[in-house]
A and B are shown apart, each in its own frame.
Chain A
Amino acid sequence: AQSVTQLGSHVSVSEGALVLLRCNYSSSVPPYLFWYVQYPNQGLQLLLKYTSAATLVKGINGFEAEFKKSETSFHLTKPSAHMSDAAEYFCAVTKPGGGNKLTFGTGTQLKVEL
């Protein structure tokens, strides 16, 4: 079975600082991995996805994530935080060829301070 673990339910950064949101996965087969963002009162929006092509994946709003098999990680980063990045971020995994079910982490609430 696949699973993801997000370390840190709350992360706070200063505007302009590096954003690092952690995600580690567990999977019996090479997984497909996703980051979703949820703004208040909105649905989950896809930021980026890893599908076994390039290990460094660029997404929307300046975010990127790197798939590291040796560390079973897929951490999300952004070089410079903006106030508008404040939201909840979810890492998710699915099994290639195993249906479309997404398995989510518990989420990380990102706060951006002036």
Chain B
Amino acid sequence: EPEVTQTPSHQVTQMGQEVILRCVPISNHLYFYWYRQILGQKVEFLVSFYNNEISEKSEIFDDQFSVERPDGSNFTLKIRSTKLEDSAMYFCASSEGGGLNIQYFGAGTRLSVL
């Protein structure tokens, strides 16, 4: 069964460093998403991406965040200068279409900022 894959499963970084979280969505999907879950808190929407541009973003998704689909298969989330409060589980998701199309989630990348 096709699945969304995320690498690495765990990323440790120093505060102020840049990190790139990588995702390979399901191959025929057109919509891509990032969510995050801070330990003990809700899963929160960060951004959605369609047709090579951001279609919606939350207030969390400020200028230190960016997303890219560099090569037609990967979908990346970049955090330019990490802060302690960026420590969280980051989930990538993809869907075939918009609206009620099911979002399929990856297993997540746990980001630890020291």
Contact = CB atoms under 8 A, between A and B. Distances in A.
B75 interface: no
B43 A90 contact: yes
B100 A102 contact: no
B105 A45 contact: yes
Given A43-B4, A43-B108, A90-B43, A102 B91 contact: no
B98 interface: yes
B19 to A, nearest CB: 20
A104 B91 contact: no
A44 interface: yes
Interface residues of B, number: 28
Given A99-B56, A100-B95, A42 B107 contact: yes
B91 A43 contact: yes
**Interface residues of A: mostly helix, strand, loop or mixed?**
loop
B102 interface: yes
B103 interface: yes
B31 A104 contact: no
A98 to B, nearest CB: 9
A43 B99 contact: no
Interface string B65-104: 0000000000000000000000000010101001111111
A54 to B, nearest CB: 15
A94 B45 CA distance: 11
A106 interface: yes
Contact of A44 (B43, B48, B55, B99): B43
Interface of A: 32, 36, 41-46, 49, 51, 90, 92, 94, 96-97, 99-107
Interface of B: 3-4, 31, 33, 35, 41-45, 48, 55-56, 58, 91, 93, 95, 98-108
Closest 3 CB pairs of A and B: A43-B105, A44-B105, A104-B43
